[in-house]
Amino acid sequence: MGLGTQDGLGEAEAFVAEHGTTSFTMLWDESFETWQEIGITSQPAAVLLAADGTPITGWVGPFPTDEVVRLAAESTASA
């Protein structure tokens, strides 16, 4: 899921249209509360959550796909 908070909703919609991020759900939070709650201070950023919503780890900047897949598999196996 993507979580937009900066600029305005129109800019977020234009970003999705330009970058083709249709393979996942995009949400919009104009309050920044969700970013504050999960500790995002800049973008790009990513947070990997367990099935129960508990943060596993996060990245600022590009995130390593192979590490994300490994951690997700470990999280699923231990659930």
Claim to verify: residue 27 and residue 13 sit in the same structural domain: yes
Q: Is the pLDDT of residue 78 over 70?
A: yes
Claim to verify: residue 52 and residue 68 sit in the same structural domain: yes
Claim to verify: residue 25 and residue 55 sit in the same structural domain: no
Q: What's the mean pLDDT when you consider all of the chain?
A: 84
Report the pLDDT value the prediction gives residue 22, as an integer from 0 to 100. Answer: 67
What are the structure tokens assigned to 58, written together? 């996060």
Claim to verify: residue 6 and residue 35 sit in the same structural domain: yes
Task: Determine the number of helices (DSSP H) and then strands (DSSP E) in the chain.
Answer: 3, 4
- Calculate mean pLDDT across residues 46-69: 87
Q: How many domains does the chain have?
A: 2
- Calculate mean pLDDT across residues 6-12: 82
Claim to verify: residue 32 and residue 48 sit in the same structural domain: no
Confidence of residue 44 (pLDDT cuts 50, 70, 90): confident
Claim to verify: residue 20 and residue 48 sit in the same structural domain: no
Q: What is the pLDDT of residues 18-34, one digit of tens each?
A: 877 667 788 888 888 98
Q: Is the pLDDT of residue 74 over 80?
A: yes
Give the domain extent around 10: 1-39
Strands 26-28 and 2-4: parallel
Claim to verify: residue 35 and residue 10 sit in the same structural domain: yes
Query: Coil, strand, or helix at residue 63?
Result: coil
